[in-house]
Amino acid sequence: MNTDTTEAIVFTLLFATVAGLGFAAARWRRPDTMDDIDEWGLGGRRLGSWMTWFLIGGDLYTAYTFVAIPALVFNVGAAGFFSLPDLAIVYPMVYLVLVRLWSVSYAKGYVTTADFVRGRFGSRTLALLVAITGILATLPYIALQLLCIEAVLKTMGVDGQWPVVLAFVVLAGFTYRSGLRGPTVIAIVKDTLVYLVIIAAVLYIPFKLGGWGDIFDTAGKKFSGESSGGVLLASNNQLNYASLALGSALGLFLFPHTSTGALAARSRNVVKRNMAALPVYSLIVGFIALLGFMAVAAGVTPLMRDNGKPDNNTVVPLLFQQVFPHWFTGIAFAAIAVAALVPASVMSIGAANTFTRNIYMEYVRPGADKAHEARVSKVASLLVKFGALVCTLLLDPQFSTDFQLIGNVIIMQTLPAVALGLFVRWFHRGGLIAGWIAGMGSGLWMLYEIPNPATGHAHFGGSAFPLSKIGLSTGMPVYAGMLALLVNLVVAIAATVVCRAAGLPDGVDTTRPTDYLADLPEPAHGPVADTLRTPAEPVAAAVAEGPASEEQHR
């Protein structure tokens, strides 16, 4: 593939502009200081409906949806469409959950889900487990974003490592400087670019390929000649489809970066309104997934990787290159690259906040001041990205969607403590810890047992676990995350009963039922809201000090 000059210039200009915006974002609604985790890590908790929509949309709808999902559809057909039901059910499912999480975090000054677990179950160990889970689960997800940027560059004819390294440095730089303001501001540009490209693609490509009917008929013919895949689900694949959709949806808002987006909202109503408005993005995702079929109909052949296997991530970039004029291809490629930057940035901030609050401040340097806390977060955001780079080397699944799905298996194990914990305080902290160990153990074992048919690797090759491996006489696979969560819940319930019967001391719940309904008393901003927080609890105290006390720390 030759580098086209027009395409490269448009891409570079757009990418550089966006990167510049990311650095300049530190000045947007400039805080008194950036040396405060509420400012750096949550954008001051002041985002209104629109900015929250852009931010959550920006970090949920990643290059994963733009590149990896259509690549999966390109290869397996209908089964790759699972991300649409996933994104259809997630908002009604988490509507009540997120609102409660927002309230209790606002009332208590929590920054992470692990903060909440610590306050709710009075267990440092459980909070540490939740924190570690969140960080681990984020790494493969960030790795996926880097792979998507690589695929775009490769399609443009830019080989070698340095462009990816450059993109990585830009990402790390503006995240370090601007914190959550960086991706929030960029997200607006990202969404404009993405909507432009996708609307053009959905109107123009079917027109060029002879209409939707022809696209699906061509795809149907292609899949009927193959052993697997199809325009509809095979009968033994329906359970996996539904379990993937449900599992992905259950895990989605447990990731540190997604809860970060929700906590940055200004009020309960902002969260609620977003649950109604975010599905607009899901519609776009549906059409993006259909790009996979368009690529089939257009006869796209993916580029090869160094090891001689096809790089499926290049399918969508190649399709764009084939049908669009050069200047528009440049815009489309910039859209994909920026769509990878925004979430990668929010993810590293989410993971960094978690590391700082729940590992560093808790175990390494308790009582460090706010400036110190913010500084550690910034450095941690760099380290997290290096961890992601390592992930790209260690994991080699058949489809890069599995990076996300593997991360999701891991993050789902925090569901009993975080999501159920928001509603009921029945579980014993010992029970939750036992459940986590069982769920994580079984989840990782299942992932280890899944081979990659394409490369011949025997382990970590995907996320669909064949039920025949645990002795069930069926050819049906199911999403490993759902099975692991089931194990987790059963063990957590059993161990809770055992802990209670044995009379083991349970942790103290420092939250009150009313905290879960707390809201702004009136449309207030920053400092006013700060004075209304409850300063009684230790976790809250760190944040509730308010901007006034910062000067003396500096």
Partner 1 sequence: MTQNRTATRTHRSDRSPWNWLLLVAAVMPLLTFVYNSDRPRLAGIPFFYWFQLALVVFASLCATCVYLMTGRGGPNREH
Query: Interface with partner 1 by CB under 8 A: which residues?
Result: 48-49, 78, 81, 84-85, 87-89, 91-93, 95-96, 99-100, 206, 211-216, 231-233, 238, 241-242, 245-246, 249, 266-270, 272-273, 275-277, 279-280, 282-283, 286-287, 290, 514, 516-523, 532
**Is 57 or 330 the residue whose CB approaches partner 1 more closely?**
57
Q: Which is nearer to partner 1, 163 or 279 (CB)?
A: 279
Least distance CB 48 / partner 1 (angstroms): 8
- b/e per residue 261-292 (b: at least 16 CB within 10 A): bbbbbbbbebbbbbbebbeebbebbbbbbbbb
What is the DSSP-derived secondary structure letter of residue 479?
A: E
Residue 463 and residue 409 in contact, taking contact as beta carbons nearer than 8 Å: yes
- What is the closest distance, in whole angstroms, from the C-beta atom of residue 297 to partner 1 in the complex? 12
- The per-residue DSSP string of 246-269 comes to HHHHHHHTTSHHHHHHHHTBSSHH
Decide whether 288 or 331 has the Cβ nearer to partner 1. Answer: 288
The SS3 assignment for 464 reads strand
The dihedral over CA atoms of 195, 286, 90, 146, expressed in degrees to the nearest 10, equals: -70
Minimum distance between the CB of residue 509 and partner 1, rounded to whole angstroms?
Answer: 18
Compare residues 503 and 513 and give the one whose CB is closer to partner 1.
513
Q: Of the two residues 30 and 512, which places its CB atom closer to partner 1 in the complex? A: 512
The torsion angle over the Cα atoms of residues 211, 213, 219 and 221, rounded to 10 degrees, is: -130
Q: How far is the CB of 82 from partner 1 (least distance, A)?
A: 10
- Residue 246 CA to residue 478 CA, distance in Å, equals 11
Which residues make beta-bridge pairs with 477? Answer: 466
Q: How far apart are CA 216 and CA 212, in angstroms?
A: 6
Q: Please tell me the distance from the alpha carbon of residue 361 to that of residue 355, in angstroms, as a whole number.
A: 8
In the complex with partner 1, the residue whose CB is nearer, 40 or 61, is 61
Q: How far is residue 258 from each of residues 6, 218, 391, measured CA to CA in Å?
A: 36, 38, 20
Q: Least separation, in Å, of the C-beta of 373 and partner 1?
A: 26
How many angstroms separate the CA atoms of 230 and 239, rounded?
Answer: 16
CB of 238 vs partner 1, minimal distance in Å:
4
Residue 206 vs 229, nearer CB to partner 1: 206
Q: Nearer Cβ to partner 1, position 474 or 514?
A: 514
By beta-carbon proximity to partner 1, the closer residue of 138 and 282 is: 282
* Residue 389 tokens, joined: 């780079």
| 8 A C-beta contact, residue 134 and residue 351 | yes
How near is the Cβ of 107 to partner 1 at its closest, in Å? 8
Closest approach of Cβ 206 to partner 1, in Å? 8
Closest among 76, 133, 68 to 404, alpha carbons compared: 68
Rounded to the nearest whole angstrom, what is the least distance from the CB of residue 369 to partner 1 in the complex?
Answer: 25
Secondary structure of residue 480 in the 3-state scheme: helix
